[in-house]
Every structure is written in structure tokens, then in C-alpha cells.
Copies of this chain bind each other. A is one copy, B any other.
């Protein structure tokens, strides 16, 4: 049995399927692959684990495979160009579909390639990490990094469907699984106090890969993201709350050359910073900050930076973040667990205190 959600975006609405064993379900997948051509974009590690299942599921079709290098440092215009080159050399036309089989990097690059190859072709997401399942595969943000900043190039481009097979999480390294939980916890923090409480009670069941708990947590996460995205697809307002902890997190990742922290780990630290800043600005009680730290820690995540982080470097790096509107630093804060708010005039003194106390 699997669950089905719909992301409601008018004529670009699409379904998200969530459940065990979905990779083997041709009846679910093939209706979303209308043309004759199909290119699976993935990396060697994921291909070794799941490409055989997918080949069997899609046995009746010709399947091109594009292997891209693994890792955030390869989420570049050069890797994007590699995907495009293979589409060209294999003569894919504008009725082709690109299937992203992998984590967020694979999904983001593949989505950007699908959005721009011949100005837009078919696109299906099959996320194989928890982070990609609850975050990057939902909502239509695609893109690559620039040497000077994360996700600086990209497009809003919605997939035809997202297929989330929870079985793949059994072979996911524990550190990556925890990184995915950071985004799950984020949904509780910004949107749903009850879900946050449920996570406090079920975090160990999730880490033990209890299937029922997993499906519920993923479905709830996708639901919250889908509701937010449906209200504000292009991030003119509300959608920005999904960036809770991310301005701090992106700066941390950048200052450590995207090598020290997994994205979810940097976001976990960033959410603690955002909660701490919320407290210093008088929005949030001490108790809620502690609950936030405790749950993230229980999920196997870091809650503070290594001691060699420089607060000045963080401030400067945050200044180039995409969330800057005409010179004013905008941050997402929370005024309670389950309630986010966009703050346009962040108190820089309090921000400095937060950064100093975190390093």
C-alpha cells in the first residue's frame, strides 16, 4: 500500500507517491512517462543500488543513463552541461523525459536540465535520500551552485510526478538519514506544533526505520511543503518560511567549502541559531529553544558549530545570500514552535550575539 498526495498548482499539479516497493511498480510510474525517449540521470553509487530494479520495472522501454559525479561540489554548470551534452549526443527530442534517480544534487541538476533542454521537457523525480524525499524533490526548485553562492542558477520547474520509495532508506548511511530528519523537524518548527510533538515521541522509531512512522513523517513533510508551495510557488512571500535555518546553514556550508557539513547538518545548526536569535529578539521562550536543540540532538544532528567558526565571516557570507532584498537582511524566525514569521529588519546586534555564542 502506498499513499498519494497532490501538489495543487493548477494545470501543473502533480502527484507524490509514498510507500515501500514503489520502484518496482510499473503501473504507478509508466503513466508519467508519455514519450518514447527516457534518460535516467543518476550517480554510480545510486545506479549500483537501484538502477537494476528500475530497468526491470521499465523493461519494455529504451533507457538512456547519464552518470554524473556524486556530491554537492559537482552541482555545477559543468555537470549540467554534461547532462545536456549527453541529451544532444543521444538525440533526445522535446518529447523526452528526464528521470532523476538520486538525492538532492541529482534532482536539482536534472530538474534544471529538464527545465532548459529545448526550453523544457518531461521530468520525473525518484528521490533516494530522506532529504530529497521531504524537501528538494517537492516544490519545483531546480538549479546549480555558482562558485560564489549556492543555488544561484536555476528555474522553477515542476515534475510530472514524484515517486518516493521508502525502502531505499534502509541502505541510506545513518548520517545522511539524520540530515534528512533536519528538514522533517523544520516542518514541525515552522508550521505544525503537533507534528513537532509527534516527532519528539517518534524520533527513535524513525531512526530505527519503522516503516509506518517513516511513511507518516514523509507524508506530513510533503503535505506541509505542498501547501506552502501551492500558496506561493515563486517565493514572493510565504514560501520563504521554508528557508528557516537556511540562511545560516548556507553560510556555514559555504565557509566550509561544502565539505564539512551535510546540507541537513548545516541547516540543523542554522535552525538552532535562528531559534536563538528569535529568543534574543524576544519572540521565543527559552523552553522552546531547548526543545528544538533536544529534538535535533536526538535525531543525531549537530546543534552548534565547530569552535573555529568566525562570526564576522558568517555575517559577511550571509550578506550575499539570495534572501537579501535591496540591502536589508531578511531572516525567517519563529515566534513559537509551529509558527514562523518573516522578519525584514533583523537586529544586527542580536544577530552578532547569536553568531558569537554559537562559535
Contacts and interface: CB of A to CB of B under 8 A. Distances in A.
Given A93-B322, A326-B93, A156 B81 contact: no
Nearest to A142: B119
Interface residues of A, number: 39
Interface string A113-139: 001111110000000000000000000
Contact of A116 (B81, B148, B154, B320): B154
Contact of A118 (B112, B115, B322): B322
A84 B152 contact: yes
B155 A143 contact: no
10 contacts: A84-B146, A88-B148, A91-B320, A93-B324, A94-B322, A116-B154, A118-B154, A119-B143, A119-B154, A120-B156
Contacts of A325: 93-95
A152 B77 contact: no
A36 B321 CA distance: 17
User: Which 7 residue pairs are nearest across A and B when measured between Cβ atoms?
Assistant: A88-B148, A119-B154, A93-B324, A116-B153, A36-B326, A118-B322, A88-B146
A120 B155 contact: yes
Nearest to A153: B116
Counted per complex, copies of this chain come to: 2
A35 interface: yes
Interface string A270-288: 0000000000000000000
A77 B82 CA distance: 12
A207 interface: no
Contact of A155 (B94, B148, B155, B235): B155
A165 to B, nearest CB: 28
